Amino acid sequence: MGMVLGYVNIYILFPRYVLNKKYASYIFYFIIALCIFYVVRTELIYQFINENVWPESETPQNAYSFNHIIVVFLIGIYDVALVTTIKLTADWILERKRIEQLQEVQLRTELNLLKSQIQPHFFFNTLNNLYALTINKSDDAPRVILKLSDMMEYVLYEVNSPKVNLLKEIQHIDNYIDIEKMRFYDRIESELNITGEIEDVNVPPLLFLSFVENCFKHGLKENDNIFIKMSFKVVEKKYLEFILENNFNPNANKEGKEGIGLNNAKRRLNLLFLNDFIMESKIEGNTYNLFLKIPIQ
């Protein structure tokens, strides 16, 4: 009978009244349920077990006496509390697991959305470069097409997983810079330094490209030259440090649309690593400096 009372409380009274904040109604109907529990339990024990309706006691007790009612009520409340605690604990564990799964799906969906925003943004800029070369009938146009083909293959087939090899990512960045060099010729100077063993290092795809694109966005205006200095360093086989330095033209992007690259990168970093990353940037004179440290394990 105690289990029946517990189920009534869990599946009828609790969801109908407590969850809807109807506490007075819950107490009223719970007392009625206790009374029914008392009568049924007492009559069943009296008819089928023992005339002493409290067989657990060493001394006989009279049915429907005040003391006997209180004792049986306490038994019912104990049974309800035990069953309800077990049920609520199990529900809490399942709900927590469900929320974690939903958060994981939401995270994965948002990351895929952010990554999908990078790809058309990147190809739009690259096609603009190719268009400028074809207008000028440059002999570099076929080379740009080959570079663009390599990058499209990388984006379409290599970056579908959450992580890619750092060497492939660096090669992808090199292809992008080469295309820019073909467009602006000797106006671009780049330098790349790698420290530590990066062969087995995996990173989020297209993460660093946003910062490199920003160099051209804020570094070039009219006949300006631009330099880009990048370095990748593995620290204690636990972290990857990315340092980027480039010249900065504060007037380079006063007009035109605001790019999505940097905001996209910051959002991805927050989603991927929570607080386990460092990103610092500063402008010193005409130089922009970026420091990024992310975990690689």
More confident residue, 54 or 176: 176
**Mean pLDDT score, 181-185:** 73
205 pLDDT higher than 70: yes
Q: 225 pLDDT exceeds 60?
A: yes
Confidence of residue 263 (pLDDT cuts 50, 70, 90): confident
Separation of alpha carbons 97 and 94, rounded Å: 5
The candidate with the shortest Cα–Cα distance to 40, out of 17, 57, 74, 63, is 63
**What does the alpha-carbon distance between residue 162 and residue 204 come to, in Å, rounded to a whole number?**
6
The pair of structure tokens assigned to 74 is 């306490």
Lowest mean pLDDT among 92-101, 254-263, 282-291: 254-263
Distance CA 284, CA 140 (A): 35
pLDDT at 164 (0 to 100): 87
CATH class of 138-295: alpha beta
Using the structure block, give the residue that is written with the tokens 């996209």.
264
User: Which residues partner with 153 through β-bridges?
Assistant: none
Residues 233 and 241 sit within 8 Å (Cβ to Cβ): yes
What is the reported pLDDT for 61? 62
- Residue 295 one-letter amino acid: P
Could you read off the pLDDT of 28-71 as tens digits, one per residue?
Answer: 988 888 888 888 887 777 666 655 555 555 556 667 777 778 88
- Dihedral sign, CA of 270, 273, 278, 279? negative
| Token representation of residue 52 | 């002493």
Q: Quick one: which H or E segment has residue 8? A: helix 2-8
**Predicted confidence band at 256 (pLDDT cuts at 50, 70, 90)?**
very low
How high is the pLDDT of residue 136?
77
Q: Which residue has the higher pLDDT, 244 or 57?
A: 244
Which segments of the chain are extended strands (E)? Answer: 164-165, 188-195, 202-203, 226-235, 239-247, 278-284, 287-295
Query: What number is the average pLDDT over the span 176-183?
Result: 80
Query: Is pLDDT at 257 greater than 50 in this prediction?
Result: no
CB 79 within 8 A of CB 2: yes
pLDDT for 192 beyond 90: yes
DSSP-derived secondary structure for 98-150: HHHHHHHHHHHHHHHHHHHHHHHHHHHHHHHHHHHHHHTT-TTHHHHHHHHHH
Domain edges within the chain: 2-98, 138-295
Mean pLDDT, rounded, for 25-30:
88
Mean pLDDT computed over 148-174: 83
- Could you tell me if residue 229 is left (phi over 0), alpha (psi between -120 and 50 degrees) or otherwise beta? beta
Residue that is written with structure tokens 């990168």 in the block: 265
- Looking at residue 255, its pLDDT comes to 44
* pTM given for the model: 0.59
Mean pLDDT to the nearest integer, 97-124? 67
Q: How far apart are CA 42 and CA 40, in angstroms?
A: 6
What does the pLDDT read at residue 167?
Answer: 93
Calculate the average pLDDT of the chain: 79
Phi, psi of 57 (to 5 degrees): -85, 150
pLDDT at 16: 85
* pLDDT for residue 89 is more than 70: yes
Distance CA 231, CA 208 (A): 11
Instruction: State residue 69's pLDDT score.
Output: 80
